[in-house]
Amino acid sequence: MGYNYTSEKNIQQIISLLKAHGIKKIIASPGSSNVSFVASVQHDRFFEIYSVVDERSAAYVACGLAAESAEPVVLCCTGATASRNYIPGLTEAFYRKLPIIAITALVHPGYIGQNRPQVMDRTVVLNDIVRCSVQVDIVESAEDEWANNVKINKAILETKRQGGGPVHINMVTIFSRDFSAKELPYCRKIDLIQKKFEFPELKGKKVGLFIGTHKKMDVDFIDAIDLFCENYNATVFIDHTSNYQGKYAVLGSIIANQDNYIADCLKMDVLVDIGDISGADMKLYPSEVWRVNPDGQIRDYRKNTRYVFEMDEKQFFDYYNSYVVCDKKELTYYESCKNEYDQFVDKITNFPLSNIWTAWKMSPVLPANSVIHFAILNSLRSWNYFEYDNSILGYSNTGGFGIDGCVSSLIGASLANSEKLYFGVVGDLAFFYDLNSVGIRHIGNNIRILLINNGNGTEFRNYSCIASQFGDETKEYISAASHYGNKSETFVKNIAENLGYKYYCAKTKEEVTELIPYFVSTISNKSIIFEIFTDSNAESEALQIINNLQISSSQYVKNKTKKVLRRALGDEGTKFVKKCLHER
């Protein structure tokens, strides 16, 4: 019988990615729980394997080999105390920044603490033995396979990121006796780019740029992005927290969140991704993603990251701008995206009174050079559909992405410049959750709070939310309805006026329209709270309208089929069918 590779997919992934990254040197110590890995690599001539019985010695042998060869070295041992014996050598490697990958084997983690022999708890790692520790679990779904891919790539890249050093992979095994796999699966390799001579080719590709939440950009950086767009016929997809004030921005949410239509402009060869967590769930379809960030970390939100550039963002754009400079500036991609956006906006005729309707009417009249803060989810989403003046900076607490703190962040920002207007858009639950901050004694006259009061967490009542299937029952505990005065017409009014704010309220579109000029005015001796009473059903209806401005018949049928399958088979059954179709 010929031996090949283990049938354990997670271990196949580790081996496949070691090969993809060109990592050949392995020091193996004897044991039973690491047999699946060792038996697989010893039959693969790609690897250069050495046997060292004592794990303490093995780790130091790895130090010497890594230092002399200037290559990463893999250690592999069984469970029990074997891995503990790596600690002295890995400590040495940590302080010398030596690229060592320690692979320790583990049976199902559920056995930790259950008196099963030779099961060690390695969930807590000493601070100075490895740069990162990941656990590569048994593969039971496509999500498991993707997660393992990211974790293995992360561990391998960490051996050279920021100077490099040792890493740890905790490899879960089922002790499979099946070694019949003749080939390793293809596993996506993610490369870390640190030097200019490593930069991949970009010329001739269709290029998009996505900017997540980003700090204010200086003029030189904006100019570098603009020149990049001109050199590579690129476009910049943004949301209101991107804070890119250049020429080639497309507010992508209204295009990218259509329920039954996928625009061609959302498809590209390369998506350059800068910034941090975005609150806009923008559905873009790149063949691969290039992430650019000084932290050098993998952030695989779209599940197709190919390169991570560990560098200042401007350095990336400066390099590609110097590499290709076009005399003739072609902007057809940006123009097609911008035309698509304009066509969608032109299709809007009306919405019911809602956060979305208010954003539609108020966005065009927000004063230039002001700042706006959004509560997460419904408020941020609603305003991300509509453009406002390019000079306005936008922020949201997308880091922790919680209900708390949006009003406090707004007030904190307002203290930085008493001559500038600071707007905030917030729902009732988030407003009351963060009510303490509105009463501090440092409040000036430059705050404008727009309170959308629908009497509950309307996010959970939206047609697109899983909770909406429960109808009015959602109000009881999921969307937390009827708290804080249950849409009282005097509660917020009394609070606002007692704390020295000017207070406006509206219950109809006509009233909102009449009061908008007063709310956005730069002339006021007090900060303002403007409360608009809306209804959750109207909020959901407005969202459904804007997400269905265009319908592709083929996409509509595809989405309906998915929904029917999911109802009939459940999530796991649907994934199984999709996997079978893909394998065919």
pLDDT computed for residue 197 by the predictor: 81
The range of the structural domain enclosing residue 288 comes to 196-346
Q: Is residue 242 part of a domain?
A: yes
pLDDT band per the 50, 70, 90 thresholds, residue 79:
confident
Rounded to 5 degrees, φ, ψ at 42 are -70, -15
- Summarize the confidence of residues 113-135 as an average pLDDT: 85
Q: Do 528 and 570 share a domain, yes or no?
A: no
In sequence order, the β-bridge partners of residue 26 are 49, 74
Cα separation, 281 vs 547, whole angstroms: 13
Rounded to 5 degrees, φ, ψ at 567 are -65, -40
Contact 260, 562 (CB under 8 A): no
Q: Do 207 and 89 share a domain, yes or no?
A: no
Q: Do 278 and 300 share a domain, yes or no?
A: yes
pLDDT computed for residue 583 by the predictor: 47
Q: Is residue 61 part of a domain?
A: yes
At residue 411, the 3 state secondary structure works out as helix
pLDDT computed for residue 584 by the predictor: 44
For the segment 167-213, what is each residue's pLDDT rounded down to a tens digit?
Answer: 999 999 999 999 999 999 999 999 999 988 889 999 899 999 999 99
For the segment 267-304, what is each residue's pLDDT rounded down to a tens digit?
Answer: 999 999 999 999 998 999 999 999 999 999 999 999 99
Quick one: DSSP state of residue 403? Answer: S
Q: Indicate which CATH number applies to the domain containing 338.
A: 3.40.50.1220
Q: Do 321 and 419 share a domain, yes or no?
A: no
pLDDT computed for residue 119 by the predictor: 80
* Chain centre distance of CA 404: 20
Q: Do 67 and 211 share a domain, yes or no?
A: no
> Above 50 in pLDDT, residue 520?
yes
Contact 359, 351 (CB under 8 A): no
Q: Is residue 356 part of a domain?
A: yes
Q: Is residue 547 part of a domain?
A: no
pLDDT computed for residue 559 by the predictor: 53
Q: Is residue 189 part of a domain?
A: no
Quick one: DSSP state of residue 251? Answer: E
Q: Indicate which CATH number applies to the domain containing 162.
A: 3.40.50.970
For the segment 21-45, what is each residue's pLDDT rounded down to a tens digit?
Answer: 999 999 999 999 999 999 999 999 9
Q: Do 319 and 393 share a domain, yes or no?
A: no
Strand 235-238, strand 73-77: pairing: unpaired
The mean-pLDDT minimum among 79-83, 227-231, 352-356, 537-541 falls in 79-83
Q: Do 170 and 201 share a domain, yes or no?
A: no
Chosen domain end from 346, 364, 392: 346
Q: Is residue 4 part of a domain?
A: no
Q: Do 40 and 168 share a domain, yes or no?
A: yes
Cα separation, 42 vs 24, whole angstroms: 11
How many distinct structural domains can be found in the chain?
Answer: 4
Q: Do 329 and 367 share a domain, yes or no?
A: no
For the segment 419-477, what is each residue's pLDDT rounded down to a tens digit?
Answer: 999 999 999 999 999 999 999 999 999 999 999 999 999 999 999 999 999 999 999 99
Q: Do 167 and 258 share a domain, yes or no?
A: no
DSSP 396-449: E-TTT--STTHHHHHHHHHTT-TTS-EEEEEEHHHHHHTGGGGG-TT--S-EEE
Chosen domain end from 132, 159, 184: 184
pLDDT computed for residue 427 by the predictor: 96
Q: Is residue 2 part of a domain?
A: no
Chosen domain end from 159, 184, 209: 184
Indicate whether this model's pTM tops 0.75. Answer: yes
pLDDT computed for residue 114 by the predictor: 75
Contact 442, 415 (CB under 8 A): yes
Cα separation, 207 vs 271, whole angstroms: 6
Instruction: Provide the mean pLDDT of the chain.
Output: 93
Contact 136, 169 (CB under 8 A): yes
Q: Is residue 545 part of a domain?
A: no
Q: Do 383 and 487 share a domain, yes or no?
A: yes
* Chain centre distance of CA 459: 20
Q: Do 39 and 135 share a domain, yes or no?
A: yes
Cα separation, 13 vs 134, whole angstroms: 14
Token output for 289: 């993603």
